[in-house]
């Protein structure tokens, strides 16, 4: 029997795992390990498996393409499924974002988006938000503000990057409501442009329209629209990192649609190819034209197997039923979680859009973040074969990243485990 401990010495410690599970197979909402134990997976590769594990249509598309052509140099030739995918993305993307550069992962896409913004504007500075996560490449981690550990020993990072607060409870003065946090963060952003970096030197503001690792934080529409207006005023490009929030996760194809805002550059990843490595940078033809041949490149980006899988994913959105399920199940999930919140004071917040939903644990005595409670709940869930993942700048949130086609009975199964854990831990005085 294969054990993780027998192979751990061959892996970098950077490949940190929250469990020692060795998985053998997956189907839909479930994964089975080498011992034959089956787990309900509410992580799904961190929102990567939009249609669950091994969706038949995606598997068939992968196998069909792999039998004909796996890869070749993009510098040499084009690939039929990749061209089809680019056209289909242009047809559904907001505004005039009709030109696409394909990459392999989210960090790579965000890195490229920063390069593109600087190339187009001929300006050096980038503004990012605390609480953000954009990846771990040097460029992407330079604009990541969710945890200092990602930046440790990486200095010097990319220069001319400035951070400003995102309107979440833990990044703003205590006692402010949502409107107060919006006003505070907009004031801080304007002060940044007044005192620290001249607007005419800023190439782009990069933001997640809904923060992912930062806690599944949904800002007020006013905040996002005000950032858009500020960018328009000063000729600054607005980059939306939709790598986790995009592709139907929030109940609309792109999270930007909730706010009535179109970015100048949009990055996609995670769910785009149903589990295969793929990402995309989308922008207008005008902006993309400043990326001359050779200024950016990729060896594996847009390979035909991943593109075929991505086309199969888009097929599942065609009749609208998938997004309908996201909204129906998201509403149901939040409702059930609010019932738990009413019973267990340690659940301080339930928030999200669609199936991008999180709960936040805090100590009821002083309203302080409670990563210790999260850890106890996580351990209980794991013991009872429910896979979960945290979020939030203090690691005190639990995010629900189920497949977009999740069924009510699967949600009920997971929520039943969660509730049983909360009840047992409360009775034992552990939370």
Q: What is the mean predicted confidence (pLDDT) over 71-91? A: 91
Identify the pLDDT of residue 76: 80
Distance of CA 37 to the CA centre of its chain: 28
User: Domains of the chain by range and CATH?
Assistant: 4-54+320-427 (3.90.1150.10), 59-317 (3.40.640.10)
At 1, is the pLDDT very low, low, confident or very high (cuts 50, 70, 90)?
A: confident
The DSSP code for 320 is S
What sign does the CA torsion over 94, 95, 100, 103 have? negative
Identify the pLDDT of residue 14: 87
Identify the pLDDT of residue 73: 76
Identify the pLDDT of residue 65: 98
At 92, is the pLDDT very low, low, confident or very high (cuts 50, 70, 90)?
A: very high
Burial of 426 (0-12, 13-18, 19+ CB in 10 A): middle
Q: What is the mean predicted confidence (pLDDT) over 158-163? A: 96
The position carrying tokens 């109940």 is 251
Task: Read off the pTM.
Answer: 0.96
Identify the pLDDT of residue 15: 85
Identify the pLDDT of residue 420: 98
pLDDT, one tens digit per residue, over 217-240 is 999 999 999 999 999 999 999 999
Please give the Cα distance from 368 to 407 (Å, whole number).
34
Average pLDDT, the chain: 96
Identify the pLDDT of residue 178: 96
Res 331 pLDDT > 80: yes
Q: Between 154 and 220, whose confidence is greater? A: 220
DSSP string over 255-311: GGGGTT---SEEEE-GGGGBTBS-EEEEE-HHHHTTS-TTSS--SSTT-HHHHHHHH
The proportion of the chain whose per-residue pLDDT surpasses 70, expressed as a percent, equals 100
At 423, is the pLDDT very low, low, confident or very high (cuts 50, 70, 90)?
A: very high
């Amino acid at each position: 029997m294969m054990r993780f401990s027998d192979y751990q010495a061959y892996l970098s410690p950077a490949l940190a795992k929250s469990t020692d599970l060795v998985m053998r197979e997956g189907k839909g909402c479930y994964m089975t390990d080498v011992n034959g134990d089956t787990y309900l997976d509410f992580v799904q590769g961190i929102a990567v498996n939009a249609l669950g594990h091994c969706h038949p249509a995606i598997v068939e598309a992968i196998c069909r393409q792999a039998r004909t052509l796996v890869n070749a140099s993009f510098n040499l030739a084009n690939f039929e499924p990749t061209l089809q995918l680019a056209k289909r993305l242009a047809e559904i993307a907001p505004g005039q974002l009709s030109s696409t550069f394909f990459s392999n992962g989210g960090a790579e896409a965000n890195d490229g988006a920063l390069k593109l913004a600087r190339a187009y504007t001929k300006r050096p500075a980038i503004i990012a938000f605390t609480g953000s996560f954009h990846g771990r490449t040097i460029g992407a981690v330079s604009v990541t503000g969710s945890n200092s550990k990602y930046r440790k020993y990486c200095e010097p990072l990319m220069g001319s990057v400035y951070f400003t607060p995102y309107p979440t409870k833990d990044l703003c003065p205590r006692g402010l409501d949502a409107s107060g946090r919006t006003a505070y963060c907009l004031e801080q952003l304007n002060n940044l442009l007044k005192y620290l970096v001249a607007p005419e030197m800023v190439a782009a503001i990069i933001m997640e329209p809904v923060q992912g690792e930062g806690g599944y934080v949904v800002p007020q529409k006013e905040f996002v629209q005000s950032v858009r207006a500020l960018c328009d005023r000063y000729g600054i490009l607005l980059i939306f990192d939709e790598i986790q929030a995009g592709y139907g996760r929030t109940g609309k194809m792109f999270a930007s649609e909730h706010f009535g805002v179109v970015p100048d550059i949009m990055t996609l990843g995670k769910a785009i190819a149903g589990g295969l490595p793929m990402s995309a940078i989308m922008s207008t033809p005008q902006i993309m034209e400043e990326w001359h041949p050779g200024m950016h490149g990729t060896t594996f980006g847009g390979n035909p197997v991943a593109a075929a899988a991505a086309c199969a994913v888009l097929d599942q959105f065609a009749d609208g039923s998938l997004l309908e399920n996201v909204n129906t199940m998201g509403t149901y999930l939040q409702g059930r979680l609010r019932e738990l919140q009413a019973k267990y004071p340690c659940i301080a917040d339930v928030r999200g859009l669609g199936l991008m939903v999180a709960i936040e644990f805090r100590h009821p005595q002083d309203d302080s973040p409670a990563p210790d409670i999260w850890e106890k709940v996580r351990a209980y869930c794991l013991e009872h074969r429910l896979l979960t993942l945290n979020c939030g700048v203090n690691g005190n949130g639990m995010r629900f990243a189920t497949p977009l086609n999740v069924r009510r009975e699967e949600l009920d199964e997971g929520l039943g485990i969660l509730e049983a854990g909360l009840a047992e831990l409360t009775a034992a005085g552990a939370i």
